[in-house]
Amino acid sequence: MRLTILALALLAFSVTEATAGVPNMTCKAEGTAVGGPPLHQYEATDVFRVANGKLYHRWSGREEYFYNDIKEVELVRYASGHMMFVLDYDNRHGYVVIAGHPTWTIHNLDCKS
């Protein structure tokens, strides 16, 4: 009986740890974004905000909107819909790949908690 309770407690801790992996943060796109096909660059104005496991997105000319839930898929790698965020270990810099059909975009990011 004690072993069963211990196993359930460890399982609950593991599930809590897995869902608590996404920090609340705001990431601004830096410089130019690269997209394709065809390959082109443009000034990036995107802002990605994560709050309580939800991803919000906005850019110049578009108000912030709820994009999707976001989850940690590997250490400092987060996925949300067609977006994959790859950040450094302190979640301050990195990039996001937005893979839609038939286009894709890469933004360099500067993030703050």
Task: Show Cβ contacts of residue 23 under 8 Å, excluding neighbours closer than 6 positions.
Answer: 50, 91, 113
Kindly indicate the confidence band of residue 48, based on its pLDDT and cuts at 50, 70 and 90.
Answer: very high
Kindly indicate the confidence band of residue 96, based on its pLDDT and cuts at 50, 70 and 90.
Answer: very high
Query: Residue 101 has what DSSP assignment?
Result: S
Extents of the domains making up the chain: 22-112
* Highest mean pLDDT (candidates 7-16, 30-39, 50-59): 50-59
Tens of pLDDT along 78-92?
A: 999 999 999 999 999
pTM for this model (two decimals): 0.79
- Sign of the four-CA dihedral 98, 66, 29, 80: negative
**Distance (Å, rounded) from C-alpha 48 to C-alpha 82?**
14
Which pLDDT score, from 0 to 100, does residue 2 have? 44
Which pLDDT score, from 0 to 100, does residue 20 have? 58
